[in-house]
Structure 1
Amino acid sequence: MEVGEMEMRMSTLSGEQGKEKETQSDEDRGYDENMSDSPRESVDSTNETPSKKTQLEDGSHSLSVIKKAVVVLTRLPEYKVSTLRPPTPQQFYSEDESHSSSDSDMQWEPEDNSSDSDFSVTDSKQKTGKPTQNDTKKTPAPQTMSEPAPIIISSAFAYCANEITKVRPDLPEEEVKVGMMVLARKRHMRWQQGKIVEIITRKDGRLKYKVNFVEKGKSLVSGHHIAFDNTPKLEQLYVGARVVVKCQDDKFQSAILAELPTRKNRLRFLVFLDNHVPVYVGLPLLHLVCRPLENSLDDIRDSPHKCFMSRYLRDWPYPHLTQYSAGQSLNAELNGVQQRCEVQEVDSSLIHVVFQDNQHKEWIHRGSIRLEHMTRFLELKEIEDYLDDSD
């Protein structure tokens, strides 16, 4: 009788085990059907599915339960998925902070073209590098502006000392003697080739040179009005040197050397003729004045150009330059009147412009006082310098 009851009990337990396995298989199939390609979060389920194992032992034979852990995949809401994604750089930096600044030492950006009081000038020695968020918010671009205003920079022009030197080198003077071929000033802004036929010493000790010109005529000139006919050596040249330049029409004109060859100007010399015209030239077109004045600018008659060159040499090697791009329109002085023109080309420190009224074309220095933007900037700079000196 006991054997029969035991068999019936074992068969009952086996039936229950089979039902539990079927139930577990159905649950696993249900989990597989709920899976999709959307992101999920893997967690350990707190609800555990028990798997019963019956052990038959004599005496106090009992049923022991063995628990089995099951992994449950749960679909997450979209807002949780977005929070789990890695942050992008735009989330860390604002629009103002992400823009890189110019590597110049000074920037000036007008808010409006209607009034000088709208300009803001930043001292290059006090503020460098990347603008802060507060700085960029101080001067928002006005809605009424028809074209982008230029930025006026004041950055180091070159990297080596021999590219920016403006001190006359301590070299022995070349001899000037009778019979030497020179370039001599025949009249204002016109120099010609000639030969020194006589050297005259005045009572005050000054020397005068009598020159017979190759074409015709003669003249008695001072040492700062004759130039060597040969090409100078590179070590003799410096920014601010008084030179004579052979122009495209084969005429010679006096000028001030404004740039030495660098990578920025493609290894050329920039000179300002005495009529404020800038020209890039090579070394063979330069001629050093034999006996320049203590201040070479004293030989310039044009007062506005003389003032410009004085400031230019004082600021060197941090000249003020406007930044224009091809196709940009601006106002520039022509025949004493500000006229509308368009930038056709930018070449280092120069821009090639064409005036709208008469289609006149010419090269203008990007820091020239003929540019309306630069003129207004320099006026404000003078006021700023005056206020600084008064303090």
Structure 2
Amino acid sequence: MMEMMDDQLEVTMSQSEETGSKMGLFEFENLGDSQCEPVPSTSGALCKRTRMKYGLVKRVEVSLFRLPDYKISALRPPTPQQFYSEDDSQSSSDTDAKFGESSDSDRPSGKKSKAKKKKKVNNIEHTPIIDSSAFAYVPQETTKTRPDLPEEEITVGLNVLARKKNLMWQRGQVVEVVTKEDGRLKYKVTFEEKGRSLVSGHHIAFEATPKLEQVYVGARVVVNCQDDSVQYRAGILAELPSRKNRLRFLVFLDNHRPIYVGLTLFYMVARPLPDPTDDIQDDVHKRFMKQYIIDWPYPHLTQYKPGQHASVEFNGVQQRCKVDMVDCSLIMVVSECNQHKEWIHRGSLRLSHMPRFLELRRREAEAAVQ
């Protein structure tokens, strides 16, 4: 009879609670495991039937089911690798940059290590990339060869620019044409600023503005240096106007100084030597210009950005410098020693790596011939 009553009064937890609340007569108490009987469940879950006072039974049912994988992953504690994931690393990097933190212990990820390495490169001297891309805007044969044009005469009374002494030219006037015993012509020039000199044709420049058909890479010219203590200096034309140099002429002065000028600021030498570099007194600069003309229109240019450092020669001594500005083929460097500023060519031999680069090329060329 008791078993029949148990079966008839078997209810779920919710049913029992509801019945108890309606009657107000039942008190529930937990029984020991020995008084609990296993009950099969239609859902396949583990069930127990617990006897309660007054002949009622409380049926407890536990349902088991599998959570999705993404919920299981979310419940697992994070591993050290997850703490330093790629996304967290990027966020941390942005925070450090904002607040100025740069501790090595805060840089565990690959991205931050690269950022640190890049920042370090900007603060030390590096080995820059040397580019030899084409710079000419017209066929090579029309830029390095002197045009076959009739020579202009040098006559008495002609206003000219003439060399007064090495690295210095002045305005003057031809007062006499002298023929030497070997047939060579010399020109006596009286200078505007006192003095006179007997000079050769390759030390005289026409004062008139040159025509475009007269200019070519390697031409011997005299430049009006408006920001120099010496107003007129001789040099060699190194670039013709193009989009790469903002439609300007580049001239290397005989003191190795490069300068961008317009057509009205330089003058053609009247009787240049077959090899214009023979007029250069400095041997190092002469070798540089010879190689430059050979390499044209593929000059070797070092790639620099403002803020990078380089080792540059000043008065025979290599000094640590910072690149302040870049202007086409030129860079302005500032010496960290005395804050001296100077424009130099990006392929200048004064850059410590350029002599090594050219020596390597020379050896490679010799090995190729053998």
TM value normalised by structure 2: 0.65
**Of 117, 141, 150, the match for 2:128:** 150
Amino acid aligned to 1:272: F
Instruction: State the Cα distance separating 1:385 from its structure 2 match.
Output: 1.7
| Secondary structure of 2:271 counterpart | coil
Amino acid aligned to 1:357: C
Alpha-carbon separation, structure 2, partners of 1:384 and 1:317: 20
Structure 1 partner of 2:244: 264
Kindly provide the CA deviation profile for residues 54-87 of structure 1, in whole angstroms up to 9, marking residues without a partner as x: xxxxxxxxxxxxxxxxxxxxxxx99xxxxxxxxx
Alpha-carbon separation, structure 2, partners of 1:386 and 1:359: 41
Structure 1 partner of 2:282: 302
Alpha-carbon separation, structure 1, partners of 2:171 and 2:275: 25
| Secondary structure of 1:381 counterpart | helix
| Secondary structure of 2:150 counterpart | coil
Instruction: State the Cα distance separating 1:160 from its structure 2 match.
Output: 2.5
Q: Which runs of 5+ in 1 are unaligned?
A: 1-76, 79-140
Amino acid aligned to 2:351: L
| Secondary structure of 1:176 counterpart | coil
Note if contact 2:312-2:350 (Cα within 8 Å) is conserved in structure 1: yes
Structure 2 partner of 1:236: 214
Alpha-carbon separation, structure 1, partners of 2:127 and 2:254: 30
Note if contact 2:162-2:169 (Cα within 8 Å) is conserved in structure 1: yes
Structure 2 partner of 1:202: 180
| Secondary structure of 1:264 counterpart | helix
Instruction: State the Cα distance separating 1:147 from its structure 2 match.
Output: 5.7
Amino acid aligned to 2:209: T
Structure 1 partner of 2:263: 283
Aligned in 2, Cα 1:202/1:147: closer, same or farther, shift over 3 Å? closer
**Of 355, 365, 386, the match for 2:335:** 355
Alpha-carbon separation, structure 2, partners of 1:330 and 1:180: 47
Alpha-carbon separation, structure 1, partners of 2:283 and 2:354: 17
Note if contact 1:243-1:289 (Cα within 8 Å) is conserved in structure 2: yes
Note if contact 1:168-1:238 (Cα within 8 Å) is conserved in structure 2: yes
Note if contact 2:125-2:311 (Cα within 8 Å) is conserved in structure 1: no
* Residues 1:366 and 2:346 aligned together: yes
Instruction: State the Cα distance separating 1:159 from its structure 2 match.
Output: 3.3
Structure 1 partner of 2:311: 331
Amino acid aligned to 2:147: P
* Residues 1:183 and 2:137 aligned together: no
Amino acid aligned to 1:219: S
Amino acid aligned to 1:214: E
| TM alignment of 1:1-391, pairs within 5 A | 148-161=126-139, 165-248=143-226, 249=228, 251-389=231-369, 391=370
| Secondary structure of 1:367 counterpart | coil
Alpha-carbon separation, structure 2, partners of 1:162 and 1:196: 36
Alpha-carbon separation, structure 1, partners of 2:231 and 2:136: 31
| Secondary structure of 1:184 counterpart | strand
Alpha-carbon separation, structure 2, partners of 1:348 and 1:177: 40
Kindly provide the CA deviation profile for residues 197-228 of structure 1, in whole angstroms up to 9, marking residues without a partner as x: 11011111100000111111010000000100
Structure 2 partner of 1:101: none
Instruction: State the Cα distance separating 1:282 from its structure 2 match.
Output: 0.7
Note if contact 2:126-2:310 (Cα within 8 Å) is conserved in structure 1: no
Note if contact 1:163-1:261 (Cα within 8 Å) is conserved in structure 2: no
Larger radius of gyration: 2
Amino acid aligned to 2:127: A
Alpha-carbon separation, structure 1, partners of 2:260 and 2:147: 22
Q: Which runs of 5+ in 2 are unaligned?
A: 1-68, 71-116
Alpha-carbon separation, structure 2, partners of 1:319 and 1:244: 22
Note if contact 1:164-1:259 (Cα within 8 Å) is conserved in structure 2: no
Q: How many residues align?
A: 252
Instruction: State the Cα distance separating 1:277 from its structure 2 match.
Output: 0.5
Aligned in 2, Cα 1:372/1:147: closer, same or farther, shift over 3 Å? closer
Structure 1 partner of 2:22: none
Instruction: State the Cα distance separating 1:386 from its structure 2 match.
Output: 2.0
- Alignment RMSD, CA only? 2.2
Amino acid aligned to 1:155: S
